Amino acid sequence: MKGDFDERDSGVSVELMASDPVLVTSALTEVEVGRNLTRRLAGEAPEEARARFQLELDAFALVAVDATTCNEAARITDQTLCRPLDSVHLASALRAGSATTLLTFDIRQAQAARSLGLSVVGC
């Protein structure tokens, strides 16, 4: 959905994702983006945007938000004091493997990720 919602750093994030042959995200992304589409498209029919997002999401490997991910997220929240949803994304990144680089423009999430030993781009 390039260009649909021009936000600060969106161009950079598209470039960074295009340069990575393997894209991974938490299954939580589907919930968060769905909510944001509904909020941003208030009063408009979000079905087309949701369908396009689903097509783009197909390019990603999804890390399940299962008991293992949730247990790791709880540990991360305790260790880093980061926000709960951020901890789910961080737990997902850790489950994706040591070669995973986290793309975020959220300074608090980036700090927590680095404290866990993750590589971070974006901020």
Tell me whether residue 5 is in a domain. Answer: no
**Mean pLDDT across the chain, nearest whole number?**
91
Tell me whether residue 116 is in a domain. Answer: yes
In eight-state DSSP terms, residue 58 is: T
Tell me whether residue 3 is in a domain. Answer: no
Max CA-CA distance within the chain?
42
> Residue 2 has which token pair?
């390039």
pLDDT digits (tens, 9 = 90+) for 41-69: 876 777 888 888 999 999 999 999 999 99
Whether 31 shows a pLDDT value over 50: the answer reads: yes
Q: Which domain holds residue 26?
A: 10-121
The crossing angle, in degrees rounded to 10, of helices 107-115 and 67-80 is: 100
Tell me whether residue 28 is in a domain. Answer: yes
| DSSP assignment string, 60-111 | EEEEP-SHHHHHHHHHHHHHH---HHHHHHHHHHHHH-TT-EEE---HHHHH
CA distance 25 to 22: 10
H/E element, 25: strand 23-26
Tell me whether residue 69 is in a domain. Answer: yes
Domain containing 82 — which CATH number? 3.40.50.1010
Q: What total number of domains does the chain contain?
A: 1
pTM for the complete prediction?
0.88
Tell me whether residue 2 is in a domain. Answer: no
Tell me whether residue 106 is in a domain. Answer: yes
Grade residue 39 by pLDDT with cuts at 50, 70 and 90: confident
Tell me whether residue 39 is in a domain. Answer: yes
